[in-house]
């Protein structure tokens, strides 16, 4: 059989004929056939066919593909090159406008990039855990037995976990002492709820035994210097604890950031505990496919079963049903999706510092700034391109099609936005540290130059370029060539002038709004810091960890009191601004009422140390043993109790003991001024810090200092080190700690001032360029006015007037909006400034107006003083 | 001296076309290169090089008759032009002159 009877693969031949240029086709086919026949003889039919296909595929090169020689296509590539070249030239020719355009847009994009990074980070919290959408937190705090009981009683619950913390604990490794923060207690199931990466140790057995702990990698490295930590022993607060695991540091985007996790000391911690004492954070993971609503309903039944009887007993009702019928609050263990904790339940998030409002505010600001920058871009592009109507006319006369003109302008605006993007990347890298301070996060360059964020930015840039370029592109390309050449079209039309002015007014509106917000935030903060707190926070130092003084408490206190600059010393179980717990007390009336009073244990000198006054009754005294059964209340508590005679009135905790009110203290703000003064009960602890038999609770020592602060702090520290050698000395000043409560608000204020600054800068850049442009066009008109006798002053005023109108228009829009938004923000505070102060509104508007005048006046004066001959002679 | 714009593979192809004289077309060039240099090359590379050389003016081409061995398709014969010959000469002269300048010592050294 002759090789010529065979045929090569038809698909390959078809493909070749499909793509190949006709000129080369026959030769290529010929060579391919010739090789094919030869190979049939030498290598067999199969290989020959394979290699024929391969050869044909290899011929698929630019050189042989048909259609590429098509003149139209090549011309397009050349045209694109030409667009880019012309765009570049026109950008360079109008350097000033281009710079302002690119610079303004770059600032806006940089702000957007940073904020986009922040927002996507905030939204990513806790999403990475396996089955994150099935994990719930049951209430903020819950009873010890809830976890195991719910897992037993409710089949839909797959796994539960209890956490307590965060704690600060003292670690002793060898003879080195470390004070470690962010420690937690957790059940051994923690790795089944949270996705945890074990580096050493067995996750299943890590926390099953008492006195075991898991360390984060950073902490393990710090304590054991990069050696294996598992199996080593640490003295934690004096107790020997075995390290049973090392886990990778929890990522940034989880609300539970731990340095170490302790196991629970005793198995009984699961099985005992009061059903109404909420000391644990309970997490539950429900089975795949089960309905959260069903589980929620079952949890409610659980609450009724276990909490119900107790509540009925405490409140003096015959049954839980009676309690509910008389208007009592129904108990339930609310299921909070874990992914919502960070942003929507900041109080439950172990201080991860998230806030959904921050996300909204940041996003709104990003959008505002971007809008301002885009308006500039559009305004300037439109204004500038109107100058180019002659160019457009000429192009049209020479045969340019409308599409090509549109392309030309689009390419130009794309180039501007691409340049801005590059600049924005540099800017945002520079601003990253400042932004971290504002956002209270620790972003690094890797987060900033993350692929997804960059891709989003690129998309944004394309959209901005397209939007900003489309108006001039479509309007200009519509010009009639004759008109355009005659110069009729250079006026740009009344419509576009109104549009431009409207946009500028809108920019001013945003700027004024932001400045008004800044003013209100800072005014409010100033107001809060000037507010009378009801106690004297200055000069009070609080020493922490006083419980570690143990038996030496009294000697420590006595020796402190001997320092000449120490006026007064007292002890308490928590401190003002440090957060206090509420305890429920009940009146001993015929119809008992109960309330969760803020409860504070103090020594007899506390009122003096804090500068509190008694308005009625008497203070505690150590001379009377019975005073442990007596309490002081504040005026808010007196109001709650009602009646004039509160001294001698009795309260009970329902445990058989009762407490007699012996005095009333003036109201003082022991929490941030966001909250009103709540009813409070002060109870006495002995001078040795003892509450009851074996119950010591003097955690903090407050010291009032008269002078020589630094020296006194030094002496207190020396005394501390002398007394307890293995516990670090920690202290705060009360006024500083109180001010730190407004950290979030202060950051808010800074954010607003930074963003309003940015907004003003961008808006002014735009205004400056627009003014220059407008004046250039009115050059001749102004010259004529001058020739006819107008003074420099009147011309300058005329120009300023037209811009002032825009500011006024902006203010009219901004002020009502600002009023509403700020009114809303102030609702958070129990103590607010009044927004009806006209200064808050007039000053920002005036400020913006002055900046606008300064921006415009330089150019207007220059135009007004110019020699009119120069303008008139040019034609 | 003006630079001769020619790549290594193109030079090889040009030489082979000159060697084959009046029987230079795609496959003969490919086979000759494979025979003399033991390189494995694809026919498309040869075509592309031939076309480029023609574009540069180093080769001329004419279309020849169809044969059965080619399934009835014609072939394109290539011939070296004067410019092509000149550039080959020039390259050779340049190489030789460079070779001659290698010191004996270093040659020995290399050959060890």
- Which of A567, A535, A532 is CA-nearest to residue A665? A535
Say if residue A784 is in the same domain as residue A829.
yes
> What is the structure's pLDDT at B1?
43
Establish if A341 belongs to a structural domain. Answer: yes
Tell whether the model's pLDDT for residue B17 goes beyond 90. Answer: yes
**B24-59 pLDDT, tens digit each:** 888 899 999 999 998 888 888 999 899 889 888 899
Out of B43, B45, B68, the one facing A31 most closely (by C-beta) is B43
The DSSP call for residue A591 is S
> What is the structure's pLDDT at A315?
65
Please give the residue range of the domain that contains residue A44: 3-64
Establish if A467 belongs to a structural domain. Answer: yes
Give me the residue spans of the domains in chain B. Answer: 8-101
Q: Could you tell me which residues come within 8 angstroms of residue B11 by beta carbon, excluding any fewer than 6 positions away?
A: B88, B91
Average pLDDT, chain B: 85
- Alpha carbons A632 and A661: distance in angstroms, whole number: 6
Q: How many CB pairs under 8 A join A and B?
A: 58
Say if residue A435 is in the same domain as residue A560.
no
Q: How far is A24 from chain B (nearest CA, A)?
A: 9
Q: State the total domains in chain A.
A: 5
> What is the structure's pLDDT at A11?
87
- Cβ atoms of A844 and A759 within 8 Å: the answer is no
Establish if A747 belongs to a structural domain. Answer: no
- Cβ atoms of A602 and A684 within 8 Å: the answer is yes
Say if residue A527 is in the same domain as residue A556.
no
Out of A33, A54, A63, the one facing B71 most closely (by C-beta) is A33
Say if residue A589 is in the same domain as residue A675.
yes
Q: Could you tell me which residues come within 8 angstroms of residue B59 by beta carbon, excluding any fewer than 6 positions away?
A: B14, B17, B50, B53, B78, B79, B80, B81, B84
> What is the structure's pLDDT at A693?
58
Say if residue A631 is in the same domain as residue A719.
yes
Establish if A429 belongs to a structural domain. Answer: yes
Residue A479, Cβ density class (10 Å: 0-12 exposed, 13-18 middle, ≥19 buried):
buried
Q: Could you tell me which residues come within 8 angstroms of residue A374 by beta carbon, excluding any fewer than 6 positions away?
A: A105, A108, A464, A467, A468
Mean per-residue pLDDT, B77-105: 88
> What is the structure's pLDDT at B80?
92
pLDDT-derived band at B14, boundaries 50, 70, 90: very high
Q: Inter-chain contact A61–B25, Cβ cutoff 8 Å?
A: no
Establish if A81 belongs to a structural domain. Answer: no
Say if residue A372 is in the same domain as residue A256.
no
Q: How far is A74 from chain B (nearest CA, A)?
A: 19
Say if residue A172 is in the same domain as residue A236.
yes
- Cβ atoms of A375 and A507 within 8 Å: the answer is yes
The DSSP call for residue A546 is G
> What is the structure's pLDDT at A728?
67
- Alpha carbons A583 and A579: distance in angstroms, whole number: 13
The DSSP call for residue A259 is S
- Structure tokens given for A53: 């296909």
User: 3-state secondary structure string, A439-493?
Assistant: HCCCCCHHHHCCHHHHHHHHHHHHHHHHHHHHHHHHHHCCCCHHHHHHCHHHHCH
Residues of chain A with pLDDT under 70: 1, 67-75, 265-273, 276-277, 314-316, 326-328, 385-386, 487-496, 654-656, 689-697, 725-728, 874-875
Say if residue A578 is in the same domain as residue A698.
yes
> What is the structure's pLDDT at B112?
45
C-alpha of A859 from chain center: 41
ipTM at complex level: 0.85
Using a CB-CB cut-off of 8 Å, the residues of chain A touching B26 are 27, 31
- Alpha carbons B94 and A113: distance in angstroms, whole number: 58
Closest Cα in chain A to B61: A27
For A615, phi then psi, to 5°, come to: -95, -20
Establish if A86 belongs to a structural domain. Answer: no
Say if residue A300 is in the same domain as residue A205.
yes
Establish if A597 belongs to a structural domain. Answer: yes
User: Which residue carries 């309903």 as its tokens?
Assistant: A297
Establish if A838 belongs to a structural domain. Answer: yes
Q: Could you tell me which residues come within 8 angstroms of residue A783 by beta carbon, excluding any fewer than 6 positions away?
A: A866, A868, A869, A870, A871, A872
Say if residue A290 is in the same domain as residue A416.
no
Say if residue A310 is in the same domain as residue A362.
no
Q: How far is B8 from chain A (nearest CA, A)?
A: 19
- Alpha carbons A803 and A388: distance in angstroms, whole number: 25
- Alpha carbons B42 and B30: distance in angstroms, whole number: 8
- Cβ atoms of A717 and A625 within 8 Å: the answer is no
Closest Cα in chain A to B48: A63
Q: Inter-chain contact A58–B44, Cβ cutoff 8 Å?
A: yes
Q: Inter-chain contact B26–A27, Cβ cutoff 8 Å?
A: yes
Q: How far is B17 from chain A (nearest CA, A)?
A: 16
> What is the structure's pLDDT at A867?
80
User: 3-state secondary structure string, A752-791?
Assistant: HHHHHHHHHHHHHHHHHHHHHHHHHHCHHHHHHHHHCCCC
Say if residue A706 is in the same domain as residue A784.
no
**Under CATH, which architecture does the B8-101 domain have?**
Orthogonal Bundle (1.10)
């Amino acid at each position: 059989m002759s090789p010529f009877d065979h045929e090569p693969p038809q698909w390959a031949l078809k493909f070749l004929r499909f793509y190949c240029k006709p000129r080369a086709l026959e030769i290529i086919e010929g060579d391919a056939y010739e090789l094919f026949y030869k190979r049939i003889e030498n290598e067999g039919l199969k290989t020959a066919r394979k290699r024929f296909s391969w050869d044909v595929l290899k011929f698929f090169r630019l050189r042989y593909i048909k259609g590429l020689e098509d003149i139209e296509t090549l011309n397009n590539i050349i045209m694109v090159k030409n667009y880019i070249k012309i765009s570049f030239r026109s950008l360079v020719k109008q350097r000033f406008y281009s710079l302002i355009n690119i610079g303004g847009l770059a600032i806006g994009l940089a702000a957007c990039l940073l904020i986009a990074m922040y927002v996507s980070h905030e939204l990513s919290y806790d999403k990475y855990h396996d089955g994150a959408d099935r994990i719930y937190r049951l209430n903020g705090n819950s009873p010890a037995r809830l976890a195991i009981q719910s897992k037993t009683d409710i089949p839909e619950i797959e796994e539960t976990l209890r956490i307590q913390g965060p704690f600060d604990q003292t670690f002793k490794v060898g003879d080195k002492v470390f004070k470690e923060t962010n420690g937690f207690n957790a059940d051994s199931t923690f790795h089944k709820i949270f996705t945890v990466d074990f580096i050493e140790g067995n996750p299943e057995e890590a926390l099953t035994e008492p006195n075991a702990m898991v360390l984060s990698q950073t902490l393990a490295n710090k304590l054991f210097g990069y050696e294996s930590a598992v199996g080593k022993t640490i003295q934690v607060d004096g107790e020997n604890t075995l390290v049973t695991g090392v886990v990778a540091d929890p990522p940034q985007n989880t609300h539970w950031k731990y340095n170490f996790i302790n196991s629970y000391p005793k198995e009984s911690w699961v099985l005992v505990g009061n059903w109404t004492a909420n000391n644990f954070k309970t997490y539950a993971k429900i089975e795949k496919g089960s309905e959260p609503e069903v589980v929620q309903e079952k949890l409610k039944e659980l609450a009724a079963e276990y909490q119900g009887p107790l509540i009925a007993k405490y409140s003096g009702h015959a049954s839980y049903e009676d309690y509910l019928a008389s208007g009592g609050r129904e108990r339930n263990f609310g299921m909070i999706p874990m992914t919502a904790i960070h942003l929507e339940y900041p109080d439950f998030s172990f201080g991860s510092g998230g806030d959904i409002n921050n996300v909204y505010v940041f996003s709104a600001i990003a959008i505002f700034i971007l809008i301002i920058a885009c308006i500039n871009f559009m305004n300037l592009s439109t204004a500038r391109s109107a100058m180019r109507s002659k160019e457009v006319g000429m192009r049209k006369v020479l045969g340019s099609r409308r599409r090509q003109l549109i392309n030309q302008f689009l390419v130009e605006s794309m180039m501007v936005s691409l340049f801005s993007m590059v600049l924005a990347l540099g800017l945002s890298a520079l601003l990253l540290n400042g932004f971290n301070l504002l956002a209270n996060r620790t972003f690094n360059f890797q987060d900033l130059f993350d692929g997804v964020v960059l891709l989003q930015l690129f998309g944004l840039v394309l959209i901005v370029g397209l939007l900003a370029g489309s108006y001039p592109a479509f309007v200009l390309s519509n010009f009639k060539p004759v008109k355009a050449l005659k110069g009729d079209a250079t006026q740009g039309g009344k419509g576009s002038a109104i549009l431009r002015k409207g946009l500028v007014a809108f920019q001013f509106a945003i700027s004024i709004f932001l400045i008004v917000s800044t003013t209100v935030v800072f005014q409010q903060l100033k107001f809060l810091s000037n507010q009378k707190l009801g106690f004297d926070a200055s000069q009070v130092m609080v020493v922490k960890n006083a419980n570690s003084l143990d038996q030496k408490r009294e000697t420590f206190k006595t020796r402190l009191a001997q320092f000449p600059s120490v006026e007064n010393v007292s002890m308490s179980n928590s401190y003002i601004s440090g957060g206090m717990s509420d305890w429920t007390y009940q009146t001993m009336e015929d119809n008992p009422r109960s309330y969760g009073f803020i409860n504070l244990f103090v020594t007899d000198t506390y009122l003096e140390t804090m500068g509190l006054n008694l308005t009625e009754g008497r203070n505690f005294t150590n001379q009377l043993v019975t005073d442990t059964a007596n309490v002081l209340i504040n005026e808010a508590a007196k109001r709650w109790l009602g009646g004039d005679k509160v001294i001698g009135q009795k309260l009970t905790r329902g445990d058989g003991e009762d407490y007699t009110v012996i005095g009333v203290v003036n109201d003082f703000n022991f929490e941030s001024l966001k909250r009103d003064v709540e009813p409070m009960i002060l109870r006495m602890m002995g001078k040795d810090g003892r509450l009851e038999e074996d119950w010591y609770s003097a955690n903090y020592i407050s010291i009032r200092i008269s002078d020589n602060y630094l020296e006194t702090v030094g002496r207190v520290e020396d005394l501390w080190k002398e007394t307890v050698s293995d516990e670090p000395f920690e202290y705060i000043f009360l006024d500083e700690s109180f001010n730190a409560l407004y950290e979030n608000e202060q950051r808010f204020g800074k954010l607003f001032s930074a963003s309003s600054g940015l907004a003003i800068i961008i808006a002014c850049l735009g205004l400056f360029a627009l003014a220059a442009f407008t004046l250039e066009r009115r050059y001749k008109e102004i010259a004529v006015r001058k020739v006819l006798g107008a003074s420099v002053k009147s011309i300058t005023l005329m120009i300023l007037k037209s811009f002032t109108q825009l500011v006024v228009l902006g203010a009219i829009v901004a002020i009502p909006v600002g009023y509403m938004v700020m009114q809303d923000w102030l609702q958070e505070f129990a103590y607010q400034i009044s927004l009806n102060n006209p200064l808050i509104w007039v000053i920002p508007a005036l400020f913006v107006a002055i900046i606008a005048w300064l921006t415009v006046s330089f150019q207007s004066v220059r135009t007004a003083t110019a020699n009119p001959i120069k303008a008139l002679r040019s034609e | 001296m003006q630079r001769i714009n020619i790549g290594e593979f193109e030079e090889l192809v040009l030489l082979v076309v000159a060697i084959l004289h009046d029987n230079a077309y795609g496959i003969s060039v490919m086979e000759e290169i494979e025979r003399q240099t033991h390189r494995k090359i694809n026919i498309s590379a040869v075509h592309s090089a031939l076309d480029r050389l023609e574009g540069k003016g180093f080769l001329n081409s004419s279309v020849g008759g169809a044969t059965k061995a080619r399934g009835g398709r014609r072939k394109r014969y290539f011939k070296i032009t004067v410019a092509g010959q000149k550039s080959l000469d020039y390259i050779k002269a340049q190489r030789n002159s460079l070779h001659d300048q290698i010191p004996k010592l270093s040659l020995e050294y290399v050959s060890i």
